[in-house]
Structure 1
Amino acid sequence: MRQLSETIAGVAPSATMAMSNRTKEMIASGIDVIGLAVGEPDFATPAHITQAAIDALNRGETHYAPSRGIPELTNAVADKLKNENHIPATQKQIMVTAGAKDAIRITMMAMLNKGDEVVVIDPSWVSYEPCVQIAGGRAVHYSLNADFQVDESIYEVITDKTKMIIVNSPSNPTGSVLGRSSLRLIADACMDHDLFCLSDEIYEKLVYGKEHVSIATVGDMHERTITINGFSKAYAMTGWRLGYLAAPLDVIPAMDKVMQHSVGCVNTFAMWGGVAALQGDQSCVEEMRKEFERRKKFVIGRLAGMGLRTAPAEGAFYAFINVGGDDVATANLWLDKAHVAPTPGTAFGAPGWLRISYAASMERLEEAMNRIESVM
């Protein structure tokens, strides 16, 4: 057999997509499976956003765009970050990417050298470590404490090879939100050891009774933070593949090189949809957030009634469930016997836990809870 990339051979496939693929196979065979493994809003993209893209198509906005994105969108992102997040980023510090995941990939490719270490805070999203590995770096894992917060022990995982700390708040998979004290500790560690911080804030608008704080606003962290966000979760635009990043000005040229020699530029007419999303009526976002909160209360309440403990569901749209023991076996039990598809916590660096998404209709969530209860 021909030899392939050793780097890619060492990367684990996505457990989320593996469960999703198995779910689709079962559905194709006629089994009524409730898929709660993938984090995708079940709402349609708001009409004014879709119309903006249609209008752009009709205007002929179908050609290559600047590699960092059309100026209308990079300016809109800069304004959003300044006004909503209080991050002092200029238009020159913005890059539009093919989704937030692409922004993470570009960051790693532009910033890591072979052997550089990146601190990944567990439980963590499944693609952080692979992005680090593909760029030649090494992920070093740090676990949140029992309150799903950061404490002084984060200093114990920092070495002379550490280059970056990844922050994800609200968190996928836990739904927890890092408090100001946790962010201050991470900021102090970055400043004490001259580290960068990648802050993935894709779920920032889906918060329930908590405050979202961008770590770039803590002290002088804007000088060493890459803030990543996008349109998929808040605006139900997963298939649009539209995200963005804000980075220190001296980092942007390296990121631009990665973009120029890979994706080239983001879908042009989709970017006009992004402009409409940021500059248009935001009531659609709040309507979806309220519905997610209603579903959250239902799901967490039903799970508690089954005696299942969950992580603090303060943001995003996930219930992270402590099932104890072999989480992979429990996930397969739920899928095979209850026909409900979760994602094993092992995929997120948290054995003994399962993640389910409540980005599904109340009718399907009610049925899912009934099925889960029948096998528990």
Structure 2
Amino acid sequence: DWGSPSSASASMTSLKQALDAERLAWQFTRQETCSWQAGDQAPASPASWGGLPASTLEKCRQEVQKKEGLETLIPARQNWCWESLKLLSCPAGESTGLPWEQSKATLEDTLRTPLGNRFHPLADASLCNEPEQGSRRWTDFERQSARSWFFRNVRVYVLAIQSSVSTLAVVNTTAGLADLGIAVTRVPGFDLSRTGDLEEATREGAFKPQSSDEELVLEEGIAATSRLSRSASHFRALNLAQKTVRPLALLLEDGLQVVDDFELKVWSLVREEAPCDWDVISLSTTCPVGRCVSPHLARVGPEGNQPTSASRCSQGRNGGGVNRGLRGFLYRTSVLPTYRPRLQQVVFTSGSHACMDLDAALSATSDEIAYYGVPQVQKAGFFK
């Protein structure tokens, strides 16, 4: 009876109960997927290095030119000592990097000039950027808690990158996770040099170039096409992750060997250390720039030599890249739709040579996305 006050009152009560239940469910999910004690961390300020004498900057410029011969690609307004430091810490083609302070000491020896203590690419580095971070003895209760939490909250995707795109060692990640009792969804990757894959990736929305498909793929060359293929493969997995009912999606590339206590470490990282504002967490980040916020986690920030994401992506050099690492990402699925289109725009824009890889795109937009990373320098990390 629409005219009955008692019916209206009952309807309002039911609506209130439904809203209260939804609010409680949201609070429970939030509690399950972050550490309330960690709080919300402000974005890390872009790393910049000012106040160096012109003579020191000139010495650094000469060092960069010796290594790269790319003077014309780096605008004069940039800090040459920062460029030189990145080349030392993050050499092209290397999967591991050196701690910033170690590279800084090497650069000072090379220049025979002190560089002072005003510049720290990773603030509070002693908190999370030490090799000995990571070890822990787990109790039986923690093991049971981690197993239950992981099953409720995490969907795992293993991305099978095409052999022509990736050079990862032949390790069956799916089998390794199965040995740990972790179920996975296997996702086949793309090779955009194949017409069928290019068409399928475009149709699925995993490949969204800002220019014509063939123009972007063909003009960039074979090496760049491999990078674009890898990124499109990641976006294919993210398209699937958006549809899962679980609040977290864990994306791993096939060929990785996870540690025996992998499940426990993911549980501990999220429940004990991850601030509640996080969007993406890289499980292994080389050359992190930003600020350590907990013993195993840093809030990633952009480098200050480039003021915008477009300028950060326009350089064509592979060496000196910061915040690198494609080994494994943890995504909060509820917010994926809000930033995935932005990442695709950055990755697939013609001319964005430095951001064709997803890790570089995340780094370039880390002042827009709450991006965190586990420093790769930690010996007891997530991967063997």
Shorter-chain TM-score: what band? under 0.3
TM-score, normalization: structure 2? Answer: 0.27
Structure possessing the higher radius of gyration over alpha carbons:
2
TM-score by length of 1: 0.28
